[in-house]
């Protein structure tokens, strides 16, 4: 697989390590829930539950052997076709992080 890095251009997927579903960006804030049980449920789902779709999947890749940036790669898990590559930083900011 070739990942088209937004800053560096096409790079071999071997330069990257894989973390998993891009929802890992949205870690819940344990203090923002009305009860400890609700916080526990949210953290459990965040940490352990996955949608694991057959088809389009947004996922986190780390350019370990390169510029060490985190990417959000949209890839088809049935064909391995890569549809879109974004900087994870941009995705996180779009979701209101670091404001």
Among 14, 32, 35, 98, contact with another protein (rule: CB under 8 A):
14
The distance in angstroms from the start CA to the end CA of the chain is: 35
**Residue 75 class from Cβ within 10 Å (0-12 exposed, 13-18 middle, 19+ buried)?**
buried
* Shortest reach from residue 83's CB to another protein, in Å: 14
Q: Does 13 bind another protein (CB under 8 A)?
A: yes
Nearest to 72 by CA among 93, 92, 58: 58
Residues 22-81 that bind another protein (CB under 8 A): 40, 44-45, 47-54, 57, 59, 75, 77-80
Which residue lies nearer to another protein by CB, 12 or 93? Answer: 12
- φ, ψ at 27 (rounded to 5°): -70, 130
Q: How far is the CB of 41 from another protein (least distance, A)?
A: 8
Q: 33: buried, middle or exposed (CB in 10 Å: 19+, 13-18, 0-12)?
A: middle
Point out which residues bind another protein (CB under 8 A). Answer: 1, 13-14, 17-21, 40, 44-45, 47-54, 57, 59, 75, 77-80
């Amino acid at each position: 697989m070739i990942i088209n890095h937004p800053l560096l251009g096409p790079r071999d997927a071997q330069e990257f390590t894989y973390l998993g579903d891009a929802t890992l960006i949205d870690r819940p804030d344990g203090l923002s829930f009305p009860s400890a049980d609700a916080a526990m449920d949210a953290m459990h789902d965040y940490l352990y539950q996955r949608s694991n779709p057959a088809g389009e999947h947004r996922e986190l890749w780390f350019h370990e052997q390169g510029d060490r940036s985190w990417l959000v790669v949209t890839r088809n898990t049935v064909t391995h076709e890569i549809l879109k590559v974004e900087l994870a930083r941009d995705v996180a900011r779009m979701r209101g992080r670091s404001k």
